[in-house]
Structure 1
Amino acid sequence: MRGFSFRSLTFMLFIVFLVWSASFDTCIARRGKHWRPSRSNSASLAKKKGKSHGNSHHRHHHGVSKPKTPPHKAPAPPPPAPKEKKPKPKPKPSPPQTGSTTFNVLDFGAKGNGKSDDTKAFQAAWAAACKVAASMLTVPAEYVFLVGPISFSGQYCKANIVFQLDGTIIAPTSSNAWGKGLLQWLEFTKLVGTTIQGKGTIDGSGSVWWQDYPFEDPIDNESELVIPLNNTVQQHPPMPIRNELKGKMPSVKPTALRFYGSFNVTVTGITIQNSPQCHLKFDNCAGVLVHDMRVSSPGDSPNTDGIHLQNSKDVLIHSTDLACGDDCVSIQTGCTNVYIHNVNCGPGHGISIGSLGKDGTKACVSNITVRDVVMHGTMTGVRIKTWQGGSGSVQGVLFSNIQVSEVQLPIVIDQFYCDKSKCKNQTSAVALSGITYEKHKRDIHSKTCTLCLQRCPTMH
């Protein structure tokens, strides 16, 4: 019994232990809040949630897909090569910025092709230059600018403006561009210290005027003694230089370049050619300098004075070539302190004082020196001409070292000047005093004479 009891007890305890162990494992499996997932379950859960663990060392078999590693970021492609740019046309030049002192007419719309009207562009360029002291308006070389009648007014302009002329300016040949009664083409008024300089040309297209009006006035009355060089104009008028004429040109022929009411002005380097009438005129000016420039027109072009001075003082003209159809230099009333030297004259009518005293007016001219001048093929040499009936005086005149060749009348003093077939003979006239001639040289083809046509009421 003892044996049975001990064995039975041992057996029963073993059975109880087994039952208790089974119940304990079951309890652990059912306690959800104490359940801890294994690493494989964690991976499966992460997979379901879309998460991946790149650092997992577990390998999955039996059809379980391997976690995907994140793709490596592809390197950015190189930037595309820049497209080859086609050269762009040069932009049109714009007007100069504020503070500029140079104003090119091309920057203001001038074409410079000789056909387009560039008058407005010149006006705009001048208006800009006029506001700046010591500025420069440039007319560039290798361009031809068609410019109508224009006034470069200076009443409110700054001083010392330079007009740099290296191109060519031509006058229109259509009568529509001129209106009626214009006395000048290019006019500079009320300026101080202005200079026109350069190697350019001012062309007045005079031929179209000369054919319509061969002479504004009859030929000088010295033609009674000599065969006038411009007699061929009456027989064979010049042909027009263009075929674009629209109607007859106005009867009043303009001066090509005129200065009026200006002080300290200079013209140098340029050429003025084929003016309808006078080429270069200074009226009511003081402090005038003209040098190293040229005037060029045919000897048979009517009334085309080279340089015309009127009511002007303190004038110096030198180193200049003058070829025209009238006086190379004409000195009119109101002129004083005029000095002319080293000038070539011809063809033309020589260098003249007058005509003075027309229609009974008073004329005064004084302190005139003309020296070291060469004249070739001119109608007269040095000349003084006054109308009868006038008053005033010509005094203090020196003609020195005048060389003439093929000049028909080297020295002329005419106090009965008349531009008509017949003039009334009057006893009053402009008085002459202090007139000196020295060192004149002539060739065998030139006459030597001092003329006083008709009567000489006053001569000293």
Structure 2
Amino acid sequence: MKYRMKAMFFVYILLLATISFTPGECDTKVFNLKDYGAVQGGNVDISQALLKAWGDACNWKGGSKLEVPSATYLVNPVILKGPCRGPIEFHNSGTLKGPQGLRGDSLIEFQYIDGLTLNGGVFDGQGPPKQAAPGLPTLLRFTFITNSRAQLVKLINSQSTHFHLFGCKQIVIDQISISSPENSPNTDGIKIGESNVLRIVSSKLAFLIRITRFI
């Protein structure tokens, strides 16, 4: 009996060591944007630094966090694309602003990700335009995103729609704020298309929600 208990104790210690030192899906690694050369102040484009940081975070096997430090950053249109190798958090403690006079589909777009958390920060579209026109970008876009959430996010001054979700499933939008000046043309708050199981809670929307073929 004595030897059996010692053997069981040895196996238990060995198991703990294996769990402690073997990388797994529960590992979380932080990828700080400043380590990729992003310049603070809002005058130098940080798009390439953001894409590089996202690529490394998305390819990390396990949980990852892309950290945007507290500051103002200028960013041109980027697509942050999955699928990723584990759950990923985009933690924004700063302000990401687009250049004035920007044209295109969207400023920041997340695509094909399962298990995304968009947490905090300000997204500034540097609008509004003087008049509605084709080719003005959506501020934030989720495309084919599943089992994810956006929380504590502030969207301001979009030149077009502030937040557009398409082909998404199981999304929680919690404590977001959307606003633009009263005379902003065609700056909807949220547009939703071809999506299901979405919840919007504890949020302040200054403009309407448009839903297209919402299931």
Judging by fraction of residues, say which structure has more strand: 2
Larger radius of gyration: 1
Residues 1:140 and 2:61 are matched in the alignment: no
Partner of 1:288: 171
Residues 1:205 and 2:126 are matched in the alignment: yes
Deviations 1:18-44 (A, max 9, x none): xxxxxxxxxxxxxxxxxxxxxxxxxxx
Long gaps (5+) in structure 2: 1-26
User: Which contiguous aligned blocks of 4+ residues in structure 1 show a shift greater than 4 angstroms?
Assistant: none
Provide the alpha-carbon RMSD of the alignment.
1.4
How far apart, CA to CA, are the structure 2 residues paired with 1:215 and 1:103? 38
Partner of 1:440: none
The DSSP-based 3-state class of the residue aligned with 1:206 is coil
How far apart, CA to CA, are the structure 2 residues paired with 1:323 and 1:191? 28
Partner of 2:118: 196
Residue 289 of structure 1 and its aligned partner are, at CA, apart by 0.5
Residue 100 of structure 1 and its aligned partner are, at CA, apart by 6.8
Deviations 1:46-93 (A, max 9, x none): xxxxxxxxxxxxxxxxxxxxxxxxxxxxxxxxxxxxxxxxxxxxxxxx
Partner of 1:113: 41
User: Amino acid of the residue matched to residue 163 of structure 1?
Assistant: F
Residue pair 1:113, 1:145 contacting (<8 A) in 2 also: yes
Residue 174 of structure 1 and its aligned partner are, at CA, apart by 4.8
Residue pair 1:159, 1:194 contacting (<8 A) in 2 also: no
Residue 159 of structure 1 and its aligned partner are, at CA, apart by 2.9
Residue 281 of structure 1 and its aligned partner are, at CA, apart by 1.0
Residue 185 of structure 1 and its aligned partner are, at CA, apart by 1.2
How far apart, CA to CA, are the structure 2 residues paired with 1:305 and 1:173? 19
User: Amino acid of the residue matched to residue 294 of structure 1?
Assistant: S
Q: How many residues align?
A: 188
Residue pair 2:109, 2:142 contacting (<8 A) in 1 also: yes
TM-score w.r.t. length of structure 1: 0.40
How far apart, CA to CA, are the structure 2 residues paired with 1:264 and 1:285? 9
How far apart, CA to CA, are the structure 2 residues paired with 1:160 and 1:140? 20
Residues 1:168 and 2:95 are matched in the alignment: yes
Partner of 1:215: 132
Deviates further, 311-320 or 292-301: 292-301
Partner of 1:311: 194
The DSSP-based 3-state class of the residue aligned with 2:100 is coil
Residue 215 of structure 1 and its aligned partner are, at CA, apart by 2.7
Q: Which has the higher contact order (CA 8 A, sep 6+)?
A: 2
Long gaps (5+) in structure 1: 1-98, 217-250, 337-460
Residue pair 1:159, 1:191 contacting (<8 A) in 2 also: no
The DSSP-based 3-state class of the residue aligned with 1:256 is strand
TM-score w.r.t. length of structure 2: 0.83
User: Amino acid of the residue matched to residue 253 of structure 1?
Assistant: L
